[in-house]
Every structure is written in structure tokens, then in C-alpha cells.
Structure 1
Amino acid sequence: MQHEAHAHHHAPAATWPMAAQATLHCLTGCAIGEVLGMVVATALGWGNLPTTLLATVLAFFFGYSLTLRGVLRAGVDFRTAFRVALAADTLSIAVMELIDNGVILVWPSAMNAQLGDALFWASLVISLALAFVVTTPVNKWTIGRGRGHAVAHQYHH
């Protein structure tokens, strides 16, 4: 009976709204990590490379944490929830961070902008928006294959 039920299980239909929602979730964690990383690194007087590394690590941390919170709320043990978060978010966050940091890197003077500068906030918003546009099709593709956010989706019910 279990084998028969498993045989009929297939990847979920990947819709654009589903992919956009998954990407927005990812964007939230990335944005929190990026801004917090910039604030901490700026307060400590760090240079561009350590600032970017801290912001990226925190983007992954908060992205994973948001998924972990939702999966744990479904009553799953921590180890399983952690694995689900890694499976659900790693590619999405990696693509988002690659685009976000890449835009900031090539944007003239954006790497040297401070928190009080309009350029800092404008470049951050635009880089995250571009990262959202690029990451949404990636999430649609992974969801359609039963991977990425599809792994965590079963715990949201």
C-alpha cells in the first residue's frame, strides 16, 4: 500500500506565484543578513571584503533560519528541519547572493557607500530586486522538479 501511494507521488506543479513566494521568502532572509552585516561591519570599521563575507554569511543564516522556523513549527525534529532548510534554500540563496553582490561590485562607488548614503540604499534595493528577478525562474525550475522550496512546502500545511 505504501509503495503504491509513493509511486503516485510526483513533483508539485511549479507556478510563477509559487516561485515568486519562495523567492520573496529567500529575499527576506538575504535582505536581513545583508543589512545587518553592513551595519555590524561598518560599526567595526571593516573593509569591503570582510564586510561582504559577513553580509553573505548572515544572508545564508537568516535565509535558513526563516525556513527552519516554519519547519520546526510543523513539529519536525531539529536535524530533519535543518536538512530541509539546506535542501530548500541553498541554491536560491546562493543565486540571490551572487547576483546581489555582483551588482554591488560592478556598480561604481557602491562598494564604498556608507549606511547614511543614498547610494548605499539605492544600490542595495536595486541589486536585491535584480536578484529576485533572476532567482524566481531558478526557484520555479527547482520546485517543478520536487526540489528547492518544494522540499519545505510539505511542512507548511
Structure 2
Amino acid sequence: MTLPAFRLGRRGDAEALAELLCSAAGEIGLEEPVCSAQKRDDLLNWIREKCYYSSVWTTDGYEALAILNRCARSKCICGIQHLVVRPECRRRGVGTAMVRHLQELTGVTSLIVEAQNQPAEEMLLRTGFAHDNPTMRGCPIRMTWTRF
């Protein structure tokens, strides 16, 4: 599989990005109402806002999605809030490539993320993340990466 090119999400992508995000709701720990029909407009507005602030990365085919956290004061990227890869694209390097892309962004010096499942934890370890508290067991597992 050829790895897709990553690009910033656009506000017009909100429908497709919401579909991708909600396809993994259970795996990434989203609360049930987030993807409900009653909350759909709220979810779309939240994604559009994240896109407006350049906090969403995806691909033209929506194979993957990363939603980033920004530090309140500096507005710098400081964490990965959600990382989703389409099921048919998993275990093909897409998630790893997305994380490496985020690590290489200008101004990114460290990232914090919570691994919601074992495959995510393993992928994050491969990309240089370390456990914040290695004695803790179970998910979510808080992990950090720092540029040296």
C-alpha cells in the first residue's frame, strides 16, 4: 500500500471526518452521545472549529484523521486528542506515518496522547512515545513524546 499524503482538514470535510471519527467511537473512548443523531450538529461544528484552527490532519481519501490539542496560552500543538485510521488501512503504516508527520511539524517539540487500546500503544511506542507512568496497567495509557 502506498502511504497517502497528509493535509490539513478543511471545514468542508466535516461530514466525512465525523463519519471516520464515529466509525471508531468505541475504540477511541468517545462517549456514546457524541455520535448520536441528536448531537450531530454539535459534532460537525466542533470539527469545523478544529479545522478552522488548523488542528485537524487527514488525507484526500480520508484514510486517517488526527485531531490535535493546542496549548491555551501559546496555541502551539501539544497533544493528539484523537487518531483514527480506517479499518481497511490499519496495520499498513498509515497511523505510524500520520504520527511521524505530526512529530515533524514546525514548532512541535513534544506531544501528549492517551493510547485507548493495545494496538495504539504499540504504534506509539514504535514512534518514540514513552509511558508517563509505566507501572499503570489498562487503558487509556498516557504517553509522551519529546523531540531531542
Q: Higher helix share goes to which structure?
A: 1
Larger relative contact order (Cα-Cα within 8 Å, sequence gap ≥ 6):
1
The structure whose Rg is larger is 1
Q: Higher strand share goes to which structure?
A: 2
